[in-house]
């Protein structure tokens, strides 16, 4: 048992701090050098780590440094979105070997979309095998809906209108590697913690705004799942009891105030009074042509309607974040999704709302930062999930 824990700890230090020497590992873990030599020997023998070069610190003999072995095997991460399927394959560093995205649409059948997914997984498998040999360490899939994480079943995806799809069963019938299914926002949260903007922050609040407002909560390095595994539906926090109707059936969810649809609503309302806005010219008077890019461009030109609308998004975003800072006391808040393209306009408003509304003790030291992986956050979370499954039990992987 202890040996397992130590192997796992060493592998994690090597992952985070590579290249690192055996003596530095001894210092970091508090284990003696003989134990480190022994455990490192086992990890080298299992192909998970490799010696990469000599390190001299100016004193004494130079020592050999270690890193993860890229050829330990490959990992495939996939995402089913509302109108796309994405797949990446990485080695064990992780360096991306294969990446593909294919357009789909919500009218397609489940079988059609899964067919595209499986075809792309096979292509990733082939490309990775060519590069580092035929050893798949695991396969992860993120989906936009409620997931029974243990059973690997997609319970409900409102924007796809999918219900009770046994995704894990489908994928394990085709692939022999371990399969992990999770909600895309949970995976994105984990990806930003493991490889991104929240690295080394054990308590993370992650938010992603675009078509909807999704989120995830990491507590003490673990995703908060709740009793049925459904925790993290932050976008459906009621903020306006009599507000707009939400896709979930409730009224006034946070998502109805912070999303692309909300932004377009604010802009259209502002344009009714601001007849001289550049947005009238740019859309040729057809407001169905509004896009986030146009609104950001208008804001950069100082257009009052665009600026006021983005300010409103920033306000409601900040009000919600302040409440969650009070409830969760995270040490970092990560903001991603397509709406983060407007961060230059949102950030000052969000910061001022937090300053106004969050308890000083709760917000002390909490920073709101931009997500690092953008559109790849969910896929990187899939890679991270497989990584963590191996690193937590290297002797049985």
Residues of this chain that interact with Zn ion (CB under 5 A) are 236, 246, 248, 250, 253
Q: How far is the CB of 110 from Zn ion (least distance, A)?
A: 24
Q: How far is the CB of 250 from Zn ion (least distance, A)?
A: 5
Q: In the complex with Zn ion, which residue's Cβ is closer, 253 or 263?
A: 253
Q: How far is the CB of 238 from Zn ion (least distance, A)?
A: 8
Three-state secondary structure of the chain = CHHHHHHHHHHHHHHHHCCEEHHHHHHHHCCCHHHHHHHHHHHHHCCCEEEEEEECCCCCCCEEEEEECHHHCEEEEEEECCCEEEEEEECCCCCEEEEEEEECCCCCCHHHHHHHHHHHHHHHHHHHHHHHCCCEEEEEEEECCEEECCCCEEEEECCCCEEEECHHHHHHCCCCCCEEEEEHHHHHHHHHHHHCCCCCCCCEEEEEECCCEEEEEEECCEECCCCCCCCCCHHHCECCCCCCECCCCCECEHHHCCCHHHHHHHHHHHHHHCCCCHHHHHCCCCHHHCCHHHHHHHHHCCCHHHHHHHHHHHHHHHHHHHHHHHHHCCCEEEEECHHHHHHHHHHHHHHHHHHHHCCHHHHCCCEEEECCCHHHHHHHHHHHHHHHHHHHCCCCC
Q: In the complex with Zn ion, which residue's Cβ is closer, 248 or 292?
A: 248
Q: How far is the CB of 327 from Zn ion (least distance, A)?
A: 18
Q: How far is the CB of 334 from Zn ion (least distance, A)?
A: 22
Output 32-36 pairs: Cβ under 8 A, ≥24 positions apart: 35/6, 36/10
Q: How far is the CB of 109 from Zn ion (least distance, A)?
A: 26
Q: In the complex with Zn ion, which residue's Cβ is closer, 20 or 253?
A: 253
Closest by CA position to 120, among listed 103, 138, 95: 103
Who's near 338: CB < 8 A, 6+ residues apart?
209, 210, 260, 292
In which residue are the tokens 């930003």 written? Answer: 192
Would you state the structure tokens that stand for residue 302, as one six-digit string?
Answer: 């100082």
Distance of CA 137 to the CA centre of its chain: 20
Q: In the complex with Zn ion, which residue's Cβ is closer, 246 or 321?
A: 246
Q: In the complex with Zn ion, which residue's Cβ is closer, 251 or 357?
A: 251
Q: How far is the CB of 224 from Zn ion (least distance, A)?
A: 19
Q: In the complex with Zn ion, which residue's Cβ is closer, 257 or 305?
A: 257
Q: How far is the CB of 350 from Zn ion (least distance, A)?
A: 21
Q: In the complex with Zn ion, which residue's Cβ is closer, 13 or 237?
A: 237
Q: In the complex with Zn ion, which residue's Cβ is closer, 214 or 229?
A: 214
Q: In the complex with Zn ion, which residue's Cβ is closer, 101 or 159?
A: 159
Distance of CA 241 to the CA centre of its chain: 30
Q: In the complex with Zn ion, which residue's Cβ is closer, 317 or 390?
A: 317
Q: How far is the CB of 236 from Zn ion (least distance, A)?
A: 4
Q: How far is the CB of 276 from Zn ion (least distance, A)?
A: 36
């Amino acid at each position: 048992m202890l040996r397992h824990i130590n192997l796992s700890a060493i592998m994690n230090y090597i992952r985070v701090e590579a290249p690192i020497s055996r003596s530095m590992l001894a210092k970091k873990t508090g284990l003696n050098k003989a134990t480190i030599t022994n455990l490192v020997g086992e990890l080298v023998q299992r192909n998970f780590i490799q010696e990469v070069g000599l390190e001299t610190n100016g004193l004494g003999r130079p020592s050999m440094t270690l890193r993860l072995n890229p050829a330990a095997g490959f990992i495939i991460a996939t995402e089913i979105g509302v109108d796309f399927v994405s797949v990446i394959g990485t080695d064990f560093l992780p360096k991306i070997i294969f990446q593909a995205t294919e357009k789909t649409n919500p009218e397609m059948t489940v079988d059609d979309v899964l067919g595209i997914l499986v075809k792309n997984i096979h292509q990733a498998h082939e490309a990775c095998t060519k590069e580092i040999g035929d050893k798949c360490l695991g396969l992860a899939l993120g989906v936009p809906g409620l997931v029974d994480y243990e059973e690997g079943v997609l319970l409900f995806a409102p924007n796809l209108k999918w219900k009770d799809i046994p995704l894990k069963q489908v994928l394990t019938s085709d692939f022999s590697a371990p399969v992990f299914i999770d909600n895309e926002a949970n995976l994105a949260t984990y990806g930003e913690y493991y490889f991104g903007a929240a690295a080394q922050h054990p308590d993370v609040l992650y938010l992603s705004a675009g078509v909807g407002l999704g989120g995830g909560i990491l507590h003490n390095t673990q995703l908060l799942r709740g009793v049925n595994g459904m925790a993290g539906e932050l976008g459906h926090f009621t903020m306006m009891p009599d507000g707009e109707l939400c896709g979930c059936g409730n009224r006034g969810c946070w998502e109805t105030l912070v999303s692309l649809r909300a932004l377009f609503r604010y802009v259209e309302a502002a344009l009714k009074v601001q007849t001289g806005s550049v947005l009238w010219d740019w859309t040729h008077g057809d407001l169905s042509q509004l896009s986030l890019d146009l609104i950001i461009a208008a804001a950069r030109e100082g257009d009052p309607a665009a600026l006021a609308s983005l300010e409103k998004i920033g306000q409601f975003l900040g009000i919600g974040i302040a409440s969650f800072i009070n409830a969760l006391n995270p040490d970092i808040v990560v903001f991603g999704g397509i709406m983060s393209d407007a961060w230059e306009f949102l950030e000052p408003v969000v910061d001022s709302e937090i300053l106004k509304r969050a308890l000083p003790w709760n917000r002390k030291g909490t920073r709101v930062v931009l997500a690092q992986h953008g559109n790849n956050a969910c896929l990187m979370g899939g890679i991270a999930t497989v990584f963590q499954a191996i690193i937590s039990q290297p002797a049985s992987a």
